[in-house]
Chain A
């Protein structure tokens, strides 16, 4: 399996005049689906633009897919796709026509371009609609067309900026599904999003930015499991808490969730036995997982 980092930056810096947007960012990112999170103004979009070479780094090195963005910009661009947050589609062309154009722009020969445009449109779920003018499209259709243009030239990496913005629950579901499937196409993805649950669902690596600096860059799983047990029941939870305490666990009730910790015994064993003894009906049981939001807020609080 190829483990060369798909993105590697060394001490990257960028400023808009006096405002330092990227302040010494060094990253090494493995292949896969990477979430990019941060407060507004933390530098997410700036970083994406630097990866594309749209903005030149003031200092530092940026390598994408093994090529230096500074010296081999066009090489990089022919292997990268971008799904911007803002509009990027012309209203006076049909989706099919525009996708064919987008593919040709990516360097595909005319016939292959048309074929791939057709394939990708089907993949994102645009069928008869593809022959209508983009100006008539709904938000859901636009987002799909945007994603389609980002992958039509078979890039190795796509940069997605808020891919689920404006979509209704069904649309979000389908978009997240598509994004997850990109890996099976051999396409790596960097997904910038404000909706942390989306990132949790689709990504295996997460980068947190704040004030132009990297707060952390690590696999998602590193963040989650603890040795605490969380428990919810249908019915009276106090009885279960009592039982657990008698068995030697510390039991803390937060809202409707019971948190159990034990030093001398297995907390899971205690949970099981407490439930059985109290004849309670478990509604949910599992290791306490810190969510991405917990980590994010924790890091933010430290700043």
Chain B
């Protein structure tokens, strides 16, 4: 049985990889893999995310363990670079080039034909601005140009480091769409981002790195479930809340109940059981149920728990 840290049909494999810079251990014994679909990579600043990404791209070699892309060690076989594209956080300094020229340049650098340039530009919706110099672009447009440059080699693995930085809501929604389409088309897309609400929308699974180590992996709900020692917190809005609460507190899995007006804040270790009870109790008491909202199932809450646990 594979661990949730491993993907089915992996294209990128990280096996017990560590990286240290002198005394500082940036990445410590991380084992995980990525496959077709969209994976989110998260972690606090300085936690080792960027180092891990660079090892995956072959920009760094691991001090220990191994990293392979499509079965090949990227440090040994340079041809694999064509299959991996990195869209870095920093700005590339090619302001004087037009977007089209920049993407064409990227194609030349990677040794692929320029046939894919127009398609790459179209896929990020830069057709209108493609022949203007990048120096005049807004941050969001620059991001899109970088993504287009990465796509021109038609890579199997696409790695995006904070790709939504500086983009406005419309551009964000559009880019998220682009990434999901690419992932759905069979590419391995890895997105590293600090805006967890968006990672949650985009990604099928997430990998969390804290203090250089793998802290969690898998689907967001599944990770939450794996934190069995932390009870779920739910908010319930219902008429006659006190009566409903009194009934619910009798359930064994319920660990805490708090009532405020017509809102019940409840903690339980068995979410499915509570989910079954509440509508029944409400129906039996004949009261109106207007909300059943998990309060700590979001990626943001899950992440907070992960970071808190390490001490």
A adjacent to B, CB under 8 Å = yes
Q: Which residues in A have some Cβ–Cβ distance to B below 8 Å? A: 37-42, 138-140, 165-173, 194-197, 233-235, 266, 268-269, 271-273, 275-276, 279-287, 293, 296-297, 300
The list of the 8 closest CB pairs from A to B, nearest first, reads A281-B275, A275-B279, A285-B292, A40-B138, A168-B45, A281-B276, A276-B283, A281-B272
Tell whether A168 pairs with B44 under 8 Å between CB atoms, given A282-B292, A284-B293, A286-B291. yes
> CB < 8 Å: which of B168, B276, B292 contacts A194?
B168
Answer whether A268 and B289 are a contact pair too, CB < 8 Å, given A168-B194, A171-B45, A281-B273: yes
| B112, CB-defined interface residue at 8 Å | no
Q: Give every chain B residue within 8 A of A268 (Cβ-Cβ).
A: 288-290
- As a 0/1 sequence over residues 166 to 177 of chain B, the CB contacts with chain A under 8 angstroms (1 = contact) are 111111110000
- Number of CB contacts from chain A to chain B under 8 A: 123
Contact B194 A167 (CB under 8 A): yes
Of the candidates A171, A194, A234, A266, the one having the most CB atoms from chain B within 10 angstroms of its own CB is: A194
Please classify the interface of chain A as helix (H, G, I), strand (E, B), loop, or mixed, using the class held by over half of its residues. Answer: mixed
- In the complex the two chains form, is A169's CB within 8 Å of B44's CB? yes
> Hey, what's the 0/1 contact readout for B269-282 against A, CB within 8 Å counting as 1?
00111111011101
Q: Is the CB of B279 within 8 A of A169?
A: no
> B282 to A272, Cβ gap below 8 A?
yes
A142 to chain B, nearest CB (A): 12
A-B contact pairs, 23 of them (CB 8 A): A39-B168, A40-B138, A40-B168, A40-B171, A139-B45, A165-B166, A168-B45, A169-B194, A169-B307, A172-B195, A268-B289, A272-B279, A272-B288, A276-B279, A280-B276, A280-B279, A281-B274, A283-B292, A284-B292, A285-B291, A285-B293, A296-B169, A296-B170
Which of B271, B290, B303 is A234 in contact with, Cβ under 8 Å? B271
> Nearest-CB distance from A287 to chain B (Å)?
7
Name A37's contact: one of B166, B169, B290, B292 (CB within 8 Å). B169
- Across-interface contacts of A40 in B (CB, < 8 A): 138-141, 166-168, 171
A168 contacts across to B, CB distance below 8 A: 43-45, 194
> In the complex the two chains form, is A285's CB within 8 Å of B289's CB?
yes
Query: Are A165 and B171 CB-contacts (below 8 A) given A40-B140, A272-B279, A272-B289?
Result: no
> Is B135 an interface residue when CB atoms closer than 8 A count as contact?
no
Interface residues in B, total, Cβ within 8 A: 45
The residue from A235, A283, A300 contacting B170, defined by CB atoms under 8 A apart? A300
1/0 contact string of B246-278 vs chain A (CB within 8 Å): 000000000000000000000000011111101
User: How distant is the Cα of A271 from the Cα of B280 in the complex, in angstroms?
Assistant: 11
- What is the minimal beta-carbon distance from A259 to any residue of chain B, in angstroms? 15
- Tell me if B169 and A196 are in contact (CB < 8 A): yes
Q: Which B positions have Cβ atoms within 8 angstroms of A?
A: 42-46, 138-141, 165-173, 194-198, 271-276, 278-280, 282-283, 288-294, 300, 303-304, 307
B275 to chain A: closest residue by CB: A281
Of A165, A173, A297, which contacts B173 at CB under 8 A? A297
Instruction: Report whether B197 and A271 are in contact in the complex, using a CB–CB cutoff of 8 Å.
Output: no
Is A169's CB under 8 angstroms from B300's CB?
yes
- Do B44 and A271 touch (CB < 8 A)? no
Query: How far apart are the CA atoms of A172 and B44 in the complex, in Å?
Result: 11
Q: How far is the CA of A261 from the CA of B272 in the complex (A)?
A: 25
Q: Give complex CA distance A170, B271 in Å.
A: 27
In the bound complex, do residue A286 and residue B293 qualify as a contact, i.e. CB atoms below 8 Å apart? Answer: yes
A138:B45 contact, CB within 8 angstroms = yes
Docked pose: A279 CA to B195 CA in angstroms = 37
Nearest-neighbour CB distance to chain B for A99, whole angstroms, equals 23
Report the separation of the CA atoms of residues A168 and B196 in the bound assembly, to the nearest whole angstrom: 9
| Min C-beta distance of A77 to chain B, whole Å | 28
Closest beta carbon of chain A to B263's beta carbon, Å: 12
> Across the two chains, which residue of chain A brings its CB closest to B238?
A272
Contact A282 B169 (CB under 8 A): no
Complex Cα distance A206/B141, Å? 25
Q: Do the beta carbons of B196 and A169 come within 8 Å of each other?
A: yes
A284–B293 Cα distance when bound, in Å, is: 5
A172 to B199, CA, bound (A): 14
> Which single residue of chain A is at the shortest CB-CB distance from B307?
A170
In the bound complex, residues from chain B placing their C-beta under 8 Å from that of A196 are: 169
Of the residues A171, A276, A296, contact of B280 by C-beta under 8 Å: A276
A37, chain B: closest CB distance, angstroms = 7
In the assembled complex, the Cα of A282 lies from the Cα of B279 at a distance in Å of 8
Residues of chain B within 8 A (CB-CB) of A273 are: 279, 283
